Structure formats: structure tokens, C-alpha cells
Amino acid sequence: MGMIRCETHGLTPLIMTSPDLAALVKKRLRDAEAEIFSVLYVYLGTVAMAFYPSKDFADAHSLRACVGPLPDELDEWSRETVPCCARCFERAFGGEFGNDHQWRRAR
Ligand SMILES: [Zn+2]
């Protein structure tokens, strides 16, 4: 995970998400309903890149939730994803990122 400067959280971990979810985070929603996919790429035994698109974005780009090897070149869809504060994202959608980088909705 890289870092981002968030107005609320200061210097904080960033995640990459789809523009539709990023727009919801900007509205400062709390525990909003959203189906979120974890698309994780592993390099040298650890998750090197992680994307958290909405189901709509995933469907539009024929993406599936996966843990796979880092491709030589990322697909076109990855350029449409945007950086977002991980903590704001967790708050907006009522879940958390696990140590395995998987998104989990809290019960
Ligand atoms: Zn934040």
C-alpha cells in the first residue's frame, strides 16, 4: 500500500478503488451498502497491488475478485481506478482490510 494525505486522517495508507465508490467516500457516508471486490496481485510473495472496485465497475470490465500473480502489464481498467484513503473507505462502507488485504464487511 502506498500513502496518501487525507484531510481527516493525515498521512495514511491508500487503496485504489473505482470512481463510483470514491465518490461515495467523498460524501462522507457511513456504513453504506456496496458490493466491493478485492482484486489482489502478488509479487515476491506479498500483495504488491490491491484494487477494490465496486461490483458494477467489475462487471463492466469483466473483472473478478481474485488473488493472482502481478501481470507484466496492468489492464486498461486499472487506469480508471483512483486513490482513496483506506480509513475513510473503511468508515464509508462499514468494513476493514484484513492482513491478507481482503476487504471484509463488518457485521
Ligand atoms: Zn481518511
Cα of 3 from ligand 1 centre, angstroms: 11
Tell me how far the alpha carbon of residue 60 lies from the centroid of ligand 1, in angstroms.
Answer: 27
The C-alpha cell that represents 104 in the structure block: 471484509
pLDDT < 50 stretches in the chain: none
Q: Quick one: pLDDT at residue 2?
A: 85
What is the grid cell recorded at 9? 486522517
Q: How far is the CA of 66 from the centre of ligand 1 (A)?
A: 26
How many angstroms separate the CA atoms of 69 and 8, rounded?
34
What cell does 48 get?
504488491
CA distance 63 to 59: 6
Distance 104 CA to ligand 1 centre (A): 18
Cα 85 to ligand 1 centroid, rounded to whole Å: 5
